[in-house]
Structure 1
Amino acid sequence: MIALALPAAANEGGFVPPTLEDMHLPEILPWAAEYGTGFGKQMLLVLLSVALIAWFFLAASRRGQLVPGKLQHLGEMSYNFVRNSVGKDIIGERDYRPYVPLLFSLFFFILVNNLFGSIPLLQIPTPSHVGTAYALAGIVYITWIVLGLKKHGIGYFKLAVVPAGVPKAILPLIVIIEIISTFLVRPVTHSLRLFATMLAGHLIIMLAAAGSEFLIMDADFWFKPLGILTIAGGVGMYMFEILIQVLQAYVFVLLTAIYIQGSLAEEH
């Protein structure tokens, strides 16, 4: 299963490990070939994820019943998870409701696009392309800054970088650290955490699959049993990667809720 979308090991010259070029396929419709941009598989999967998410929740809510069926129950359970476990618990019961649609959309968009990396033939998580992660983190970055300004006015920047109770002697140093960590480091780590995890996990699975193929098909007889062990390890990593794909969607949305809550808070 794992090897369906993976590069084969070279038959000559020994084992050739998979590279990023093997993972990020050529564009389907290149419109700026010299810059390597265009409409590719990842963009196609992004559109597919939007269609799948919209179809599922429209189907789940189409015939609302007092005693829900399986599809309605799954849709309600999914919505309530984000609403209560993320929005209500993190942002607070008083303020969370306006932000549930954003949290809900981010969670299921990231979840589905992450899980694409574990589906045969599709087999690529779209956030493994850094542009997707940057775009999502950028939306969140602009959102919590705008919310902070709307709530506190220009005084939000003081609230964001001047923690309460800090001695005046070290306040200038703390302010510099807070400016860097809040407005520069936070959006970068928010995006790169998702991107790097999806990229690394998928590369590990590719390496296990390519290594298994090489050991079984091309290596000397005495090394072939190692191919069986490599397949077993690859299947284990495949299952672990599914867990990571779900957790990363949750972590991204959890951090989004924390950032929103911080923008709405009266002091830090």
Structure 2
Amino acid sequence: MLPLASEGDGGGSFVGPSIGEFFPPIIAFAGTPFELNRVMLVRIITTVIIIVVFSLLTRSLKVVPTRWQSVLEFGTDFVRVGIAEDLLGKKDGRKFLPLLMTFFFMILAMNFTGVVPFVNIAGTSVIGVPLLLAAIAYFTWIIAGLRKHPGKFLRNALFPPGVPWPLYIIVTPIELISTFIVRPVTHTLRLLMNMIVGHLLLVLFFLATSFFFFEANGLYKLFGIGTIAFGLAFTVLELLVIVLQAYVFTILTAVYLQLALADEH
């Protein structure tokens, strides 16, 4: 049987991606609270780009929109109408629109860096950003609920009306864990794990493509055609996941706000 790769030709065994991909070396300010690695740099650059793009596109809005203004309005109307107002109504939707808008476009942009050539890692694929955004969402809906229903929010959340009193022994711990502990954890992990898995899959296919084309021997090189085909297919799938995860995170935030503000509380 032919060897997969020849050591004498400078080739070697295939080494796939690892979790170390998400902890790249420090590139600046090592040993200080401001140390930067590639992921942090991607996040900073992405944030600056978002601010600059929105500033430029909203500086001189026209009654008859330009092409880029139309794209901006499509995106903002999608969040405003499809998420904020649809779930929260016009009054509350307008109140929380800046938060929901920030979540959607920030996550969308940072997810997108995972498929940008020579960047190839999402700003949301390390827990810092997903955890921060989930924490902001968590405290926002709790504070909103306490302000809207100061005397009933926590009581009704932990002791749902209409449940027979003896059942609270079972229901209250379940509500406490599911609402105030599991909810923010799943809100964080859903975004994080999708970005981690997407990155690892893409890196796996394209590393395999490079290995088969440039290091494998003989007919093994033909496997590179399959791996690059799968890599391109998963890139298209990842683009769908990028948009979907921004939407899911934002709409779940709106759902939690809706539940906190509901009159039942």
Question: Residues 244-265 of structure 1, C-alpha deviation per residue, up to 9 Å, x if partnerless?
Answer: 0110000000000011111111
Distance 1:212 1:12 in 2: 14
Q: Which residue of 2 aligns with 1:171?
A: 168
What is the aligned-residue identity percentage? 38
Mapping 1:1-268, distance limit 5 Å? 13-32=12-31, 38-267=35-264
Tell me the CA shift for residue 167 of structure 1: 3.0
Tell me the CA shift for residue 63 of structure 1: 1.6
- Give unmatched runs, 5+ long, in structure 1: 1-10
Tell me the CA shift for residue 19 of structure 1: 1.2
| Distance change >3 Å, CA 74–CA 13, structure 1 → 2 | closer
Give the total of aligned pairs.
257
Give the counterpart letter for 2:225 in structure 1. I
Question: Residues 1-33 of structure 1, C-alpha deviation per residue, up to 9 Å, x if partnerless?
Answer: xxxxxxxxxx55511111122343212225448
Give the counterpart letter for 2:216 in structure 1. A
CA contact (8 A) 2:125 2:193 kept: yes
Distance 2:246 2:138 in 1: 17
CA contact (8 A) 2:12 2:215 kept: no
- Once superposed, which parts of structure 1, at least 4 consecutive aligned residues long, lie more than 6 Å away? none
The two structures have a TM-score, normalised by structure 2, of: 0.91
Secondary structure of the corresponding residue to residue 28 of structure 1: strand
Secondary structure of the corresponding residue to residue 35 of structure 2: strand
CA contact (8 A) 1:163 1:267 kept: no
Question: Which range moved further: 62-71 or 135-144?
Answer: 62-71
CA contact (8 A) 1:27 1:40 kept: yes
Tell me the CA shift for residue 221 of structure 1: 1.4
Distance 1:254 1:48 in 2: 26
Question: Which range moved further: 22-31 or 121-130?
Answer: 22-31
